[in-house]
Structure formats: structure tokens, C-alpha cells
Amino acid sequence: MSTTSPDLAPGPVAPWDRLGPPPRSPLRARAAERVFRHAVRGLPVRIALAGGERLGAGGPDAPLMRILDPEAFFHRLGADSKIGFGESYMAGEWDSPHPADLLTPFAERLPSLVPRSLQGLRRWVDAPRPGAERNTTSGSRRNIARHYDLSNDVFAAFLDETMTYSSALFPRTDAELAEGQRHKLDRILDQVGATEGTRLLEVGTGWGSLAIRAAERGAQVTTLTLSAEQKELAEKRICEAGLGDRVDVQLRDYRHAEGSYDAVVSVEMIEAVGSEYWPGYFAALDRLLAPGGRLGLQVITMPHDRMLASRRSHTWIHKYVFPGGEIPSLRAVEDTAREHTGLLGTGRCSFGPDYARTLRIWRETFLLRWNDIAAHGFSERFRRMWEFYLAYSEAGFRAGYLDVWQLGFRKPS
């Protein structure tokens, strides 16, 4: 089994290790510092700057942010706040003993952190998304490879035994992660009626957990992925489960899928599609469903107004984690399905707090297993990058800024 994509091999040429010193612009740095000081003055956090100055409105037990190199920190914020904040953490210019706790108050107040008088300047300071990250057929393959072909060993180190890389849905407060993942899979498979003889299409294979679960129910599964690494390991796991005759793993774009299916399931895949392709994505799912068939989606969402305000921005997440990614709003998903398909909604369920819990477990396991990951050649900067990504995402769900839904649809007979 190949463990690391050649284009992303750990080392000095890896994207995270290319991070250099901050761009220098004293004027922008001073402006960024003023905005930051304004933003944190009412937050229930403690900001400790090197030299002894303290900011924030938090008490002695409030989350702590230590800015170890204020000059570099503010220069990065001045260059591009949406990217510089995370890059500064990667570079070790600021730190926190509990980064998810610290980032949660920021996420709770995200729309109002920047004064309204300055929000109109967004189009002048936000970096545009690179054209190369558009989710064309070839662009989607590149974008997916940059994340999912990173290394199967990295993902295996922090995911549970099911190798499921999406939110769990915990049936009880004391449930283990693997139980929560199986419960999530069963709920969405129940939603589409997957049982003996069901012809089921999965768009977005992951490492095969849903395909395995569906095949165990007796379904005949076709599952699509753009990741060669995922395909290889998913096929191995499917064969080890004795289900090779029930599951066909295809390295194929959803736009090129063929056939007619009783059920279609796609778990946290629409976030990699891009808004300009959402109509085509839903049209493809509609086309692939047989009359009377059912569609189950699991979707990460953000508030509609925030989606509209940020959809053109290039963020730290795009640059380092999910190039080409775009989180929709619930309204955008349901409007697109209504306007571009004949599908009818059959139900919806949100469980954002479960995603926060899932991400916390992943982050804690990632840090606990860091020595195993580092043994594959990954650097300390890579560790800080992933710690920030998982903490940043957890904070979004804890704050309610992000949510996750299971949505059901039916194609009329």
C-alpha cells in the first residue's frame, strides 16, 4: 500500500513547510493590530503579549492566547487576516494550551469581530480564490489529491476503526466514536431504505465504511472516489470484510457516473463541489436515481448570509487543507435541489454538537499518536497545521457557526 502521494511527500517542499517569514508592511500591520485589539477587547479570553501586555475581557480561568512574536503576528494579519492567523500558529508565533476553547469565542462573534465601518473593505483586502482550485473535472482531482492522498497512515492514526472521516452521530452521551460512526451510517442508510437487493450508489467513498455497512445489509454498492489512495485502501478493507462481490469501487467523477440506482448516498462530499457546480451535482444525482428512488445527503452548513459574504474569499483552510472547498448554507442546498431537480424533501436532522465532539476526539488522538505520524517524515509544522485545522473546525461547531445535517429526498415515481 502506498502511504504518501509523491506530490505531497513530507519534507522541505511540502506546502506547510514552504511557509516563510511574514510579508512586511508596517502600515497594514498597524491597521491589523488596531482591528485585533478592537475585536478582543470584549471577548471572554486572555491575550498575553510578549513583553507583559494583556488584552481581552476574560477572567483568570478564560482561554489563554500567548502571542510570542507580536511583530510577526500582526504583519501576517496585515498581509491577509483569513490566512495569516492560521499561518502564525503554524509558525509558532502564537500558542494556546487549549486552542479549541480559545477559538470558540472568536467563532461565536465572527460576524461582528471586524467593525461594520471596515467590513466594506473586504473586497479590497480578501485574496481571491485561485483559478486553479476551481472544481473542474481535472481541478477536482488535484484538489482531492492534495488532502485525501496525503497519507493513509496519517488518517489511520487518528480515525477510529471504521476509518470514517465525517461527523459521528452519537446515540448516547457515553458512546464511543466507532459506535457513533456506525449509528450515523445506519441512520442515513435507513433514510434511503438500503436493504437486501438495493442498488446503491455512493458519491464519495472515503475509506469504504459506508459501502461496507450497506453491503452488510445486502445492498449492491457502486461507490465513486477521486482519490487513488482511498480507492486502494477501501478495496482492501472491503475484500477483508468478505464483501468484494457486493461493492464496486470506481475512480470516477460524479459527472461521469452511469447507471440507475434505487438509492444514492453522499456524505460530506458537496463541500468539495463548489457553488458554481452545485446545480450540476444535484442534476447528476437526480439523473442517477431511478423513479421512486431515495437520496441521502450529509452536509456541513454555515449561515446563509455568511456564505454569501465569504464565498469569494481564499482562506487558510483553502490554502492548506481543502483547496476548492466551499461550505453551503442549508438554504442554498435546498434551493438548489428544488430549482434543478424534481426531488422532494423527506426529512432533515441536524447534529452540530456531535461534530464538535467528533473533532475533539480526532484532535486528541492525533496529538496522542503524533510520534507515529512523525515517524513517516512529517514535520512539527505539519503537526501545528493539523492541530489548528481540527481545533478551528471544532470551535466552529461548538459556537454554532457551523452545523451538519442529514437530508433526505425522494424522486417521484
> pLDDT at position 116, please?
61
Domain boundaries, the chain: 15-125, 132-410
Report yes or no: 399 and 104 within 8 Å, Cβ to Cβ.
yes
Element (H, E) at 264: strand 261-267
- All cell numbers assigned to 195: 436493504
> pLDDT at position 125, please?
53
Query: What sign does the CA torsion over 224, 229, 235, 237 have?
Result: negative
Report the C-alpha gap between 219 and 202 in whole angstroms: 11
Residues 6+ apart with CB under 8 A from 108: 399, 400, 401
Burial of 45 from C-beta contacts in 10 A (0-12 / 13-18 / 19+): buried
**Total residues found in the chain within this entry:** 413
At 15, the pLDDT band (50, 70, 90 cuts) reads: confident
> pLDDT at position 126, please?
60
> pLDDT at position 11, please?
42
Report the C-alpha gap between 142 and 168 in whole angstroms: 27
- All cell numbers assigned to 74: 500582526
Residue 117 has pLDDT above 60, yes or no: no
Phi, psi of 172 (to 5 degrees): -145, 160
> pLDDT at position 14, please?
83
Element (H, E) at 267: strand 261-267
Q: What is 132-410's CATH number? A: 3.40.50.150
Q: Dump the DSSP string for 154-177.
A: HHHHHS-TT---S----SSTT--H
Residue 204 has pLDDT above 80, yes or no: yes
Reference 210, options 319, 340, 297, 282; nearest CA is 297
Q: Dump the DSSP string for 331-379.
A: HHHHHHHHHH---EEEEEEE-HHHHHHHHHHHHHHHHHTHHHHHTTT--
pLDDT in tens, 157-191: 999 999 999 999 999 999 999 999 999 999 999 99
At 118, the pLDDT band (50, 70, 90 cuts) reads: low
Report yes or no: 362 and 396 within 8 Å, Cβ to Cβ.
no
CA atoms within 13 A on the CB side of 113: 19
Report the C-alpha gap between 249 and 232 in whole angstroms: 9
Report the C-alpha gap between 321 and 310 in whole angstroms: 17
Instruction: Reduce the DSSP state of residue 202 to 3 states and report it.
Output: strand
- All cell numbers assigned to 362: 480526532
> pLDDT at position 45, please?
98
- All cell numbers assigned to 345: 424533501
Report yes or no: 410 and 343 within 8 Å, Cβ to Cβ.
yes
